[in-house]
Amino acid sequence: DGDNATRANMTQSRGRLIRRIWVRESDSKGFPHDLRFPNIRTLRMSFVPIEPLLLQGFFNFMPTLRVLDLSSSRLKELPVDIGSLPELRYLNISHTLIEALPKELGRLVKLRQLELRGT
């Protein structure tokens, strides 16, 4: 209906303004995984039980992301679209269940720090 369309447009507009997001475990169920954040620079989702399917395609619309913290998230693998983050400088996947890094990580030419402790 019209109200839902208006609400969706307002939410999407807010997504364009957001630069930093910290998601706590308690917030994760209501986190809008379908939003686009074209101006986001920092995304911290440590200790959030992230489902791999939710991350597929999630990073394609974050061209300005510089800091990504997925530590202690129980992830088993990084999505291949991790390579679509041209500005990423810091990636923390410490204390996850990730055993191998995708080859797409090689496209992150600005990556300066990769945290892997306990992984």
31 SS3 class: coil
**Average pLDDT score over residue span 99-112:** 95
The band of 114, judged by pLDDT with boundaries at 50, 70 and 90, is: very high
The band of 10, judged by pLDDT with boundaries at 50, 70 and 90, is: very low
Mean pLDDT (the chain, rounded): 82
Domain count for the chain, please give it: 1
pTM exceeds 0.85: no
Residues 32/7, Cβ–Cβ less than 8 Å: no
Select from 98, 94, 42 the least CA-distant residue to 70: 94
Rounded-to-integer distance, Cα 13 and Cα 81, Å: 23
- Read off the pLDDT of residues 26-82 as tens digits, 9 standing for 90 and up: 555 556 666 678 899 999 988 888 776 667 788 888 999 999 999 998 889 998 999
Domain that holds residue 63: 2-115
pLDDT score for 36: 75
φ, ψ dihedrals at 107, nearest 5° = -80, -10
CATH number, domain with residue 46: 3.80.10.10
